[in-house]
Structure 1
């Protein structure tokens, strides 16, 4: 089994060409990003909101705690250090915003973009439906359209004679906003000119200032968020992330802080990619209320927009009320787009709006010389342990050296695979944790060897019998010792952050490897060597000869 594990990890390393692990901040440098909070009243943000933002951003850039990214407060700012990331990648990772769910009141093509003809309109829109329900009956949306862009309905591009958009046969639900008219505009707006992007739509209840904001709004795919902070208690005009569609949105019905989780997956019946969202208790109630209210409304007022960083990332049509706080969003997603949307929903619910005040590339604080020194010190420690095993246990020490060699190979392959697939970055604290593990691994061998020698003293047992009896007794001690070490590593990992968490992860990893190697390699190897004459007959170089065993027993009695 151990051979299969080594071969599998080795094959993964070769196929992915991950021969050298990625390094952390102290060994490879990276990028430092400073985020400054922006509040509506221009005052300092509450400490609680700032702490929550730090935790969310830390989850985003270092969700597993092993990538060596650092996130910390610096006054009212947040300082983020990302290893190995270029400026563009770092800014993408720390894009921050408050998440809102708003009802769509009106929709139109972006300015300077001609309205599509009915035949050119997307054939469907993203569907949000209760989790676990069959997919809503809707035609397949254009594969090239963005989730938000697919929400531009046929009713909009070909308005009905009555001047009110008709419902589009499509989809089901996700959260939204109140349909109560704004106190600033309670009467039906006059019908806009035919060349107006809002022509043919019901504009009742929309703030005149927001109507003007909509008409003046310039959209492009590069102005994601437009740099604006949307007030959740006011109506808002926004573009979609493709820059092709713009919306008039009602007050926020559900805020991103009420989102509990979001994940990408496939529908078990159709195989299409979907995004499932789960809300907290208060958000679940708000979600059910809004989906119940807008499901019977005509297009586009039965759509619900998800707004992140001031831009609409998806606007599904609501076809039914969704109780229970669970829903799924579908609409022609690929694995990549579904995963990206799930990440935006899951990690976008920041309690504050931030501006990127500086992005600076930083060099490594240690560099190649320090890395070489750390590896040399680890190698020296390994050699000293091997010499000790040979001098004290002689031939039996070869079993311990072979076990250390296997543990070293498994550790290196584990680090390489984790580095390529889990964002693990090797930093000095990780190296320290790996070096410390040499002693932990050697302790397990010594416990086993000493138990076996005790059973063989004075010829009470043959070596083959002594190996089995000693193993039954030694494995309990080994498991208890490793369990204590592993529990300490787990507690330290979850309670600490940054370098300390990295050290704890490395220590926990090597503790698991120690158990695997002792059980799957050391014990089977000892059972094999016990059958050889060199060990079973007590050769002088085996470490199990009668003279050496007697001397060892005499020393033990004197010490006692």
Structure 2
């Protein structure tokens, strides 16, 4: 006999549920991120309020005045930092302002990596005008000899199928792409480079007869209370007029190996702090050998943020670049994504420019490709004799590739990126640069003083709630109560496995708010039981046998159950989208538990009821819990014909 309409084969549905459990717990115990003992692999990721975490304070600083930043700028910075933290996963981090200068970041887990969260992420594209060795005066810089590592990131065109090939026609060829050079220092020079003029050709300053000053013991730059001109004047007084004049007179990096007297004059610059070096004119930063890449990399954040000024920055801590004004900015980037380049199997950051930004980028690459006006000197040219364009993020050159053609489409920043670093950089560029410069304070590990008690209380509340539902179910529905108990148990196991897997994959953390969401979901699950079982009683009261009433009750109750759960899911989605922090955790947990309850309803509750309907116990009012809804053959209901099972 064929099963009644609406009834599925219970064995198949239970098999699908078993497959889901098998896959889920294989991921729990043997997934890519499953580590440690069996007990460790069963540990979900707990939130800040349960297990403590890491807290870091970012202090807003300014380069020219001691005034506190505006409340609007501080709030905008907080929103960007919150977006950066959230992009790393559903970690329920807390990002709040503290006073009129500080932003406090708290994330779950001790020793959490918060590096890069407070970086300005100011992107600049600058043409490389000069390049030299940045290792210090003890090295012997030879232009065109020190190779830039071939793994240097590079912008690349994605608008042409032949991207990556050198241009084979006019400079306007769209098939060209920017790629890292493998030539000499600063990007490579032709076979017979023109040497950089020696420092010995520098005219002797008029103050050469004055004695060299003794550098002061403490820094003289006070960014909080001095303008840039005042800071620069203070540094000039510290190094002395003779050293300052000699440094200003340099037309190229000084060669101390051939001019010992010049080395003595410039000696005071070796005692400058990174803060003092940051206020020096770019020509002094570039031409004085004692101002090394090590010191330049230690300059305060925002030291070269002015896009209208030339700047000096280092690539890979080895090559010192003299950079032109920035002609393409981070604000010209419409979108950024970390993607895996299929042709090279390397992680890259794909950039999509705005309309005006694309025009600026095309103009810059044309200018660099043609070396217009001979602006780039011989040492700064690449293997093909073209200028380079440096991708400058804050104070660092993350890439300085030779431009091999005019780029008219989207581009890439490529290099030694991992998936995490590529996505982090893309996130920083996507959400924009911070409107303020921050000085990070030392990160601190914080403990959840009440975390253990909170967790115990939350689990106890969840257990009591489930126990009350089960007791009521057995009291009112008897045998059917076992269906409720098993359904809740399976739903709980699904939720727990999902918590573990999601914690590893997207960083979801369980907090007290999340536990509250799971407890509320118990009520949603109980409602679906009541709808189904009461519909079943109605079908039996209408004269149908229990076996035929089960599929008909399911067909009618199914729509109501789906509608009720869909409303809960939509409410959770809306709440998640419009809220932040722990409220998002509550919404996420409620939505997750409701979806998994639907899985249990369809793959367990209905098929198990179909199996129960075939047992003798199901026909007993005392055992089944259907009570007087079941009409025995020897107890016909007055005024209503008795319906026998076909």
Structure 2 vs 1, CA of residues 333 and 427 (structure 1 numbering), >3 Å: closer, same or farther? closer
May I ask how many residue pairs the two structures share in their alignment? 507
* Separation (CA, whole Å) in 2 of partners of 1:354 and 1:220: 21
Question: SS of the residue aligned with 2:405?
Answer: coil
Matches within 5 A, 1:133-532: 133=160, 134-137=162-165, 152-153=185-186, 155-156=188-189, 160-161=193-194, 192=252, 195=255, 209-216=281-288, 217-220=291-294, 223=297, 226-230=300-304, 231-240=306-315, 242-297=316-371, 299-300=380-381, 302-324=387-409, 326-331=410-415, 335=419, 338-339=422-423, 341-343=425-427, 345-346=429-430, 349-357=433-441, 359-459=443-543, 461-532=544-615
Partner residue, 1:27? 50
CA distance in 2, matches of 1:464, 1:538: 13
Alignment partner of 1:82 is 2:107: yes
Report deviation, 1:472. Answer: 2.1
SS of equivalent residue, structure 2 residue 97: strand
Query: Normalized against structure 1, the TM-score is what?
Result: 0.81
Residues 469-503 of structure 1, C-alpha deviations (whole Å, 9 max, x = no match): 22222121112111211111111111111111111
2-side partners of 1:85 and 1:246: how far apart? 38
C-alpha contact (below 8 Å) 2:45/2:508 kept by paired residues: yes
SS at match of 2:96: strand
Q: Distance in 2 between matches of 1:224 and 1:531?
A: 78
The offset of 1:412, in angstroms, is 0.4
Counterparts of residues 15-94 of structure 1 (less than 5 Å): 15=30, 16-17=34-35, 18-42=41-65, 43-63=67-87, 66-76=90-100, 77-86=102-111, 89-94=113-118
Is the alpha carbon distance of 1:158 and 1:246 closer, same or farther for their aligned partners in structure 2, counting shifts above 3 Å? farther
Deviation at 1:432, TM superposition (A): 0.8
CA deviation map 1:116-163 (0-9, x unaligned): 79676247454422225344148xxxxxxxx89999545349661386
Q: 1:257 touches 1:350 (CA, 8 Å); kept in 2?
A: no
Structure 1 unaligned residues grouped into runs of 5+: 139-146, 165-188, 198-207, 555-560
Aligned partners of 2:133 and 2:319 also within 8 Å: yes
Shift of 1:523: 1.6
Q: 1:154 to 1:378 in 2, by over 3 A?
A: closer
CA spacing shift, 1:322–1:161, aligned 2, 3 Å: closer
Please give the per-residue CA displacement for 1:493-514, whole angstroms capped at 9, x wherever unaligned. 1111111111111111111112
Report the alpha carbon displacement of residue 3 of structure 1 after superposing the two structures with TM. 1.9
What is the aligned partner in structure 2 of residue 202 from structure 1? none
Note the alpha carbon deviations across 1:320-351, whole angstroms, 9 max, x for none: 23334x21233465556644554554466323
Unaligned segments of structure 2, at least 5 residues: 1-15, 36-40, 167-179, 198-248, 258-279, 639-646
Alpha-carbon distance between aligned partners in 2 of 1:346 and 1:465, rounded to the nearest angstrom: 59
Q: In structure 2, the residue corresponding to 1:130 is in which secondary structure?
A: coil
> Matched residues in 1 for 2:83 and 2:396: separation?
22
**Equivalents in 2 of 1:456, 1:59: separation in Å?**
56
Relative to structure 1, the CA distance from residue 196 to residue 302 in structure 2 (aligned partners, 3 Å threshold; closer, same or farther) is: farther
- Are residues 530 and 258 of structure 1, via their aligned partners in 2, closer, same or farther at CA, if it must alter by over 3 Å? farther
CA distance in 2, matches of 1:95, 1:335: 19
| Residues 148, 465 of structure 1: alpha-carbon distance in 2 compared, 3 angstrom cutoff | farther
Give the stretch that moved more between structures: 537-546 or 480-489: 537-546
3-state SS of the aligned residue for 1:541? helix
Alignment of 1:542 with 2:624, yes or no, is yes
The answer to which of 307-316 and 368-377 deviates more is 307-316
Is the 1:97–1:352 contact (alpha carbons within 8 Å) kept by the matching residues of 2? Answer: no
CA distance change for structure 1 residues 10 and 75 in 2, over 3 Å: closer, same or farther?
same
Paired residue for 2:235? none
Note the alpha carbon deviations across 1:254-277, whole angstroms, 9 max, x for none.
222333332232333444443211
How many Å separate the matches in 1 of 2:595 and 2:125? 44
